[in-house]
Structure 1
């Protein structure tokens, strides 16, 4: 059995300002985002990971570094960075303020099967799930009895997780959005099974700067 710990990155400046933060833009972790990552690391400090697979975007790499600094079992840990774990690309909307009345934004959040980003050059949901699933499948084959930390992004993780556990495309955003540095555990045997979802129970109150 392969056990995946999926963690969303810590809170960033663009998260705070409610702007699109996709696969072609980055924003620094806020002090609260750093503290979230440190708390997640302490919570997971006794988990012996065989591999940490991390998006190549800085907010995810920084989050992973803070998490792993707290871990007690770094000897023998493999750390890899994956372009295919980058966030969905929003094209011309990268960095723009989110308009919650926009039809495609509503589809992205509630009906991903209807989402069509062609007008602004964004990435499709099918592309996002295909590339992220390919990465997870390869890792489960490489580490059939392993424990793997995945640090990535909100849209990618919620659509990937819901797809892996067999939900139809219309429900791939169900249960989202994932909280910053939330932990979702999925076990892979002959199929994927959800063990823990969007867990931030470990977080103590953090004052926003």
Structure 2
């Protein structure tokens, strides 16, 4: 069975500023974020990954680079970058300080089934899932018995994880947000995805 190692990128400047940092904007890793990624790399240094799938946004690519720099089993490793793993798009709100009092922001954070970003040209949760699942399905099919590292973003990963373990759309943000450089491990048991590790930062 495929075992997925899901990792959120390291802490960035926009994370500290509580700004919308979606699929249309990037912010460099802070020194803390680089250190976090290196520590996670050390924690995973003996894991043999068959493949690595990374968002094409720089904060995720840099995080993956620092993780893999610590790995002891890189011979023949395939690293691929996917636009489909980019963060949820926040449209006109990209880079703005998060407006916590907005109803749509509350829906964004707690009720994906009610979230409607059309007023600011954002991406819907259904659109997000439609681009994520084909990537996961291809990785599972290509590496049915291997370990696959996926480095992406906070909303992307909490939604993907909850979707994979069978939660309804209204609960796709349950137990979020994920910590920066947190590790979540999923594998299958009786044809259902199960959490082995969730939002783990104990290695820090």
Compute the TM-score of the two structures, normalised by the length of structure 1: 0.96
2:203 corresponds to which residue?
202
CA distance in 1, matches of 2:188, 2:19: 34
CA distance in 1, matches of 2:188, 2:136: 10
1:185 to 2:197 alignment: no
Structure 1 residues not aligned, in runs of 5+? 204-209
Report the Cα offset of residue 188 of structure 1: 3.2
Q: Corresponding residue for 2:17?
A: 17
Once the two structures are TM-superposed, the CA of residue 66 in structure 1 deviates from its matched residue by 0.1
Specify the alignment match of 1:171 in structure 2. Answer: 171
1:29 alignment partner, SS class? coil
**Structure 2 unmatched ranges of 5 or more:** none
The answer on 1:40 being equivalent to 2:40 is yes
Matches within 5 A, 1:48-87: 48-87=48-87
C-alpha distance in 1 between matches for 2:80 and 2:188: 20
- 1:191 Cα deviation from its structure 2 partner: 2.4
Contact 1:183-1:197 at 8 Å conserved across structures = yes
2:102 alignment partner in structure 1: 102
SS of the residue corresponding to residue 113 of structure 2 reads helix
| Secondary structure at the counterpart of residue 185 of structure 1 | strand
> Aligned runs of 1:136-175 on 2, under 5 Å?
136-175=136-175
Q: Provide the aligned C-alpha RMSD in A.
A: 0.7
- Is the contact made by 1:140 and 1:188 (CA closer than 8 Å) also made in structure 2? no
Deviation string 1:53-105 (CA, Å, 9 cap, x unpaired) is 00000000000000000000000210000000000000000000101111011
2:4: which partner in 1?
A: 4
**Shift >4 Å, 4+ stretches:** none
Aligned residues: 203
Counterpart position of 1:206: none
In 2, Cα distance between equivalents of 1:159 and 1:15: 19
